[in-house]
Structure 1
Amino acid sequence: MKNFKIRQETKEDLDEVYQLIKTAFETAKVKDGDEQDFAAKLREGKNFIPELSLVAETDGKLIGHIMLTKTPVLQRNGERYTALLVAPLSVLLEYRDFGVGSALMKEGLRLATEMGYEAVFLTGDPNYYNRFGYQSAANFGIICPGIPDQFVLAYELVPNALDKVEGTIGEW
């Protein structure tokens, strides 16, 4: 495959990103069918972080996308712990198995670490995301109502960041 680059999403990319997410999830193993609308809603919300909305591009064509937004963990003691949510990671079918998704994930996690975040959550296929070090959020005493525990995954950007965090992931 030709080289691709990872860069921050721009306003000019939004229509293409919307279609990319929709198309990518048509062939995904785990999906809701409205991932593109969910991403658009997150982008418009107060928890959106423009620096953590990234695209993969080759020859002027967008082939992948990842977005990390802030999400709270509502702890049992009533406090909020701010983490990040990956939603969604998308790669067009014909560009899968070339490292595009891995490059997007690694760059997103690198930038999030640089920005001082400590933990990341996502919902997805554990068989795919375990390769990055994600594990069941339930292992930390963290749940997301309405989503089976095996699909709610956590990654610690800072070792032991979630050791003293227990509760419920906020509104997705």
Structure 2
Amino acid sequence: MTKYTIRQETQQDHAEVYQLIKTAFETAKVKDGDEQDFAVKLREGKNFIPELSLVAEDNGKLIGHIMLTKTPVAQSNGERYEALLVAPLSVLLAYRDQGVGASLMKEALRLAADLNYEAAFLTGDPTYYQRFGFQSASKFGITCPGIPDQFTLAYEIIPHALNSIQGTIGEW
């Protein structure tokens, strides 16, 4: 088992994180091919939260990364509910199945709770993400345009946070 540390991403990590995401998604089951560029766009956007951009490091080498950014849920009453978007979660192939992704997810959600966020969303493989408590966002009446319901997932950081929230996840 690899020993690694999880820490906040720094500006000096950006180039290595870009390559890590690109390399990790080359061997991913589900991919768009532009995940690394999407991460750059999120990092440069107004919804970026530096405290929620984390890396896993093994002896000075970055082996995993996760980013949570703010995302709105546009409700039918015109109000916006501020939640988090988990994207992307990346682990290099040689370090998969060693708990790196799970450690990154758990730490990111713990920090999100410390920052008083109530819910997080992602698009991805339900089989993988259900282990962390993610469930279909459609269960709450929440959808994401262009993404099939079975791949749009929600996590209540605060139990029952989404009970009265219905709508559409904002621009990603």
Helix, strand or coil at the partner of 1:120 = strand
Q: In the alignment, is residue 93 of structure 1 matched against residue 93 of structure 2?
A: yes
CA distance in 1, matches of 2:14, 2:167: 34
Aligned residues: 172
Q: CA deviation at 1:2?
A: 2.8
1 CA distance for matches of 2:30 and 2:138?
A: 19
Partner AA of 2:75 in structure 1? Q
| TM-score, normalised by the number of residues in structure 2 | 0.99
Q: Secondary structure at the match of 2:46?
A: coil
**In the aligned structure 2, how far is the partner of 1:60 from the partner of 1:8?**
14
| Structure 1: gaps spanning 5 or more residues | none
Aligned to 1:46: 46
Could you say what secondary structure the match of 1:64 adopts? strand
Percent identity between matched residues is 78
Q: Secondary structure at the match of 1:88?
A: strand
Shift of the alpha carbon at 1:30? 1.3
**Separation of aligned partners in 2, 1:107 and 1:41:** 23
Gapped regions of structure 2 (runs ≥ 5): none
Question: Is 2:2–2:98's contact at 8 Å kept on the other side of the alignment?
Answer: no
Please list every run of at least 4 consecutive aligned residues from structure 1 whose deviation after the TM superposition is greater than 3 angstroms.
Answer: none
Matched residue, 1:75:
75
Counterpart residue number, 1:20: 20
After superposition, what is the alpha-carbon deviation per residue over 1:86-142, rounded to whole angstroms, capped at 9, x for unaligned?
A: 000000000000000000000000000000000000000001000000001000000
TM-score, normalising length from structure 1? 0.99
Q: How far, CA to CA, are the matches of 1:2 and 1:117 in structure 2? A: 31
